[in-house]
């Protein structure tokens, strides 16, 4: 390890001195504690991190997009420089394989650079200009110009299942820093060491680019204790979260109970329905089963986009089920992220198996070792599916529920589903055209529609929507992946009758930044 791990929070540029131990990194499978012990931020240290964030906000939010982009690029470079440490520690504390850790590091640095490019270019602020018209009748028109401005300090909760891309310097942090918001991160107990390595990289980048102290802090001590205090703190203006439905809804309640309620962008629970139409089965049931199994078991099923619910025509699909059964039976158990996720996978699959009407089509014949999860597939009729609301719940791991019914029944059930991150449809193009109302119903329930594909593998780009109606997310108008994620941490501000020189550069007459603007005086 190039920089020794200290096991303490980052309060702006300083390290905390809190001495209350809150746990160790734990090696999945063996349960071995990994040095060092981690220590909770004290209430005074939380207060100090919040005060620093509040103090940093005016200066940081006033920096140009180019300067903030410099910070994001410097963070990416520092993380790349720490990749060997990330892999060494990540292998020990996350159960993830090396290729995944390296790949996720690349995704994280790619996200940082994507937001850097977005704010360097600058048009994202949605500048709108309406010039004054003193001669307008019956009343003169005032000069009115608007653009997006950052909200203020943002609390970011690290996710257990993405120790890099949705954690300390992940998408929530990158988009909040890009918008001009200081960030206070709540580390996840499942990967405290990786969090510390990445936090060190961010602090080095903040120093190197001359950023005001307080734009970034990382607190240990968990969500229930330290995280709740940060969410309730008056300085905090928004929350980014990826995790369980119970955690996300608890944070929504905390944010709403404040004297000033604030937005919570929580990505929580999605089973990502896959609808298979007869034409897709006619193309080759076995090949479809193989492709589905690949998506189901990717990352031991621990993705928010895991396909946990399939609608299959009742009268067809025998070969699909036979093939899937054989794949699942031969399926290899994989190490899960931590003991608690492994236990909740065992509990949820057992609960599905015990639900009246649910048949266990297949479980892996290979014995799962300690900390491992093995593939499983269950089948139920659409009638029994509708009788048991719990069957809409998430089995976080490589398990899926196949629901069989007529096409009419399937279409009728879609509007009754909870909100989803994704919905997939497998069909011929002719079927797709003929089933417009089914597609419309899926659109009403999900943030991303997929044709003849599977939901795992989330492209990070400007048109990605990784969001959806509750409980997929707390606010279906947002995405936590892609450049649109920046809009979660801004609000529109209008300037009325301000002199040109007193306006932000984005709104000045000469358009000194050369950005795209909505300006009727300038032809597009
Ligand atoms: P989690 O229990 O929601 O924990 C995530 C973070 O939220 C942790 O820092 C946790 O702090 C905090 N938290 C939880 N409950 C809280 C509360 N009432 N108030 C304040 N903070 C709270 O999620 P997890 O440990 O990562 O995984 C548990 C389950 O969540 C999984 O088995 C899976 O079902 C689901 N999950 C879903 C996704 C998804 O993308 N859909 C991703 C990850 C996990 P503490 O350490 O104090 O608990």
Q: What is the pLDDT of residue 1?
A: 82
pLDDT, one tens digit per residue, over 488-518 is 999 999 999 999 999 999 999 999 999 999 9
Q: How many residues does the chain have?
A: 524
Q: Is the pTM of this model over 0.75?
A: yes
For 72-96, letters b (16+ CB in 10 Å) and e give bbbbbbbbeebbebbbbbbebbbbb
List the residue whose alpha carbon is closest to atom 38 of ligand 1: 243
Shared-domain flag, residues 243 and 299: no
Q: What is the pLDDT of residue 19?
A: 82
- The answer to the question of residue 228 being in a domain is yes
pLDDT, one tens digit per residue, over 102-121 is 999 999 999 999 999 999 99
List the residue whose alpha carbon is closest to atom 10 of ligand 1: 223
Q: What is the pLDDT of residue 116?
A: 98
Segment 465-471 mean pLDDT: 98
C-beta separation of 142 from 82 below 8 A: no
Which ligand 1 atom sits nearest the alpha carbon of residue 187? 9
Distance 224 CA to ligand 1 centre (A): 10
Catalytic residue among 267, 394, 409, 411: 267
Side by side, the strands of the sheet bearing 216-219 are 14-15, 10-11, 216-219, 183-186, 154-157, 238-242, 264-267
Distance 32 CA to ligand 1 centre (A): 22
C-beta separation of 459 from 466 below 8 A: no
Distance 245 CA to ligand 1 centre (A): 8
Shared-domain flag, residues 300 and 216: no
Q: What is the pLDDT of residue 523?
A: 74
Shared-domain flag, residues 20 and 89: yes
Distance 89 CA to ligand 1 centre (A): 21
Shared-domain flag, residues 395 and 441: yes
Mean pLDDT of the chain: 97
Dist. CA 491–CA 180, nearest whole Å: 12
Dist. CA 496–CA 503, nearest whole Å: 10
Backbone dihedral angles phi then psi of residue 22, each to the nearest 5 degrees = -120, 5
- The answer to the question of residue 493 being in a domain is no
- The answer to the question of residue 44 being in a domain is yes
Shared-domain flag, residues 260 and 317: no
Using a 10 angstrom Cβ sphere, with 0-12 exposed, 13-18 middle and 19 or more buried, the burial of residue 367 is: exposed
Ligand 1, pocket-test mutation among 186, 218, 243, most atoms within 8 A of CB: 243
Shared-domain flag, residues 133 and 258: yes
Task: Kindly list the protein residues whose Cβ atom lies closer than 6 A to any atom of ligand 1.
Answer: 157, 159-161, 186, 188-189, 222-224, 227-228, 242-244, 246-247, 250-251, 267-270, 304, 341, 344, 394, 396
- The answer to the question of residue 462 being in a domain is no
Segment 461-487 mean pLDDT: 97
Segment 345-367 mean pLDDT: 97
Q: Cα-Cα-Cα-Cα dihedral of 159, 175, 181, 419, to 10°? A: -60
- The answer to the question of residue 295 being in a domain is yes
pLDDT, one tens digit per residue, over 302-319 is 999 999 999 999 999 999
C-beta separation of 417 from 445 below 8 A: yes
Strands 446-451 and 309-313: unpaired
267 is catalytic: yes
Shared-domain flag, residues 92 and 213: yes
Which domain covers residue 260, as residue numbers? 10-268+479-488
Shared-domain flag, residues 38 and 135: yes
Shared-domain flag, residues 198 and 300: no
Distance 302 CA to ligand 1 centre (A): 13
Listed in order, strand segments (DSSP E) in 285-358 are: 309-313, 334-335
Q: What is the pLDDT of residue 37?
A: 97
List the residue whose alpha carbon is closest to atom 21 of ligand 1: 223
Tally of domains within the chain: 2
Q: What is the pLDDT of residue 430?
A: 97
- Here the CATH number for the domain that contains residue 433 is 3.40.309.10
């Amino acid at each position: 390890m190039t920089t020794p791990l200290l096991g303490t929070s980052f309060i702006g540029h300083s390290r905390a001195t809190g001495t209350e131990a809150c746990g160790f990194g734990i090696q999945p499978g063996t349960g071995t504690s990994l040095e060092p012990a981690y220590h909770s931020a004290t209430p005074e240290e939380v207060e100090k991190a919040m005060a620093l964030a509040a103090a940093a906000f005016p200066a940081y939010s006033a920096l140009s997009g180019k300067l903030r982009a410099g910070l994001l690029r410097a963070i990416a470079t520092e993380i790349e420089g720490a990749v060997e440490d990330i892999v060494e520690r990540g292998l020990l504390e996350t159960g993830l394989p090396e290729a995944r850790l390296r790949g996720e590091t690349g995704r994280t640095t790619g996200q940082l650079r994507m937001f850097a490019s977005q704010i360097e270019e600058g048009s994202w602020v949605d500048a709108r200009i309406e010039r004054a018209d003193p001669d307008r009748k019956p009343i003169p028109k005032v000069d009115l110009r608007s653009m997006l401005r950052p909200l203020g300090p943002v609390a970011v909760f690290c996710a257990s299942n993405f120790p890099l891309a949705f954690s300390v310097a992940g998408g929530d942090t990158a988009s909040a820093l890009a918008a001009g918001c200081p960030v206070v991160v709540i580390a996840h107990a499942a990967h405290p060491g990786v969090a510390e390595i990445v936090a060190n990289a961010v602090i080095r980048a903040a120093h190197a680019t001359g950023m005001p102290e307080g734009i970034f802090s990382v607190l240990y001590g968990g969500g229930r204790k330290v995280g709740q205090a940060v969410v309730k703190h008056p300085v905090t203006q928004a929350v980014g979260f990826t995790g369980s439905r119970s955690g996300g809804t608890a944070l929504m309640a905390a944010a709403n109970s404040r004297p000033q309620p604030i937005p919570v962008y929580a990505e929580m629970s999605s089973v990502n329905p896959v609808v298979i139409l007869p034409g897709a089965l006619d193309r080759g049931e076995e090949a479809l089963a193989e492709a589905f199994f690949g998506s189901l078991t990717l990352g031991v099923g621990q993705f928010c986009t895991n396909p946990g619910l399939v609608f299959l025509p009742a009268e067809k699909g025998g070969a699909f089920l036979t093939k899937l059964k054989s794949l699942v039976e031969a399926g290899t158990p994989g190490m899960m992220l931590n003991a608690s996720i492994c236990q909740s996978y065992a509990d949820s699959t057992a609960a599905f198996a015990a639900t009246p009407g649910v048949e266990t089509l297949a479980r892996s014949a290979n014995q799962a070792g300690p900390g491992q999860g093995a593939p499983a597939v269950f089948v139920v009729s659409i009638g029994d599916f509708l009788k048991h609301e719990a069957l809409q719940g998430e089995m976080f791991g490589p398990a899926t529920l196949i629901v069989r019914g007529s096409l009419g029944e399937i279409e009728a059930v879609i509007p009754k589903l909870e909100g989803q991150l994704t919905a997939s449809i497998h069909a011929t193009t002719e079927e797709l055209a003929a089933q417009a109302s089914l597609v419309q119903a899926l659109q009403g329930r999900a943030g991303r529609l997929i044709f003849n594909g599977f939901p795992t593998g989330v492209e990070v780009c400007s048109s990605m929507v990784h969001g959806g109606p509750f409980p997929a997310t707390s606010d279906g108008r947002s995405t936590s992946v892609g450049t649109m994620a920046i809009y979660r941490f801004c609000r529109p501000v209008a300037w009325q009758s301000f002199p040109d020189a007193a306006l932000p550069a984005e709104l000045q007459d000469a358009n000194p930044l050369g950005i795209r603007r909505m300006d009727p005086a300038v032809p597009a």
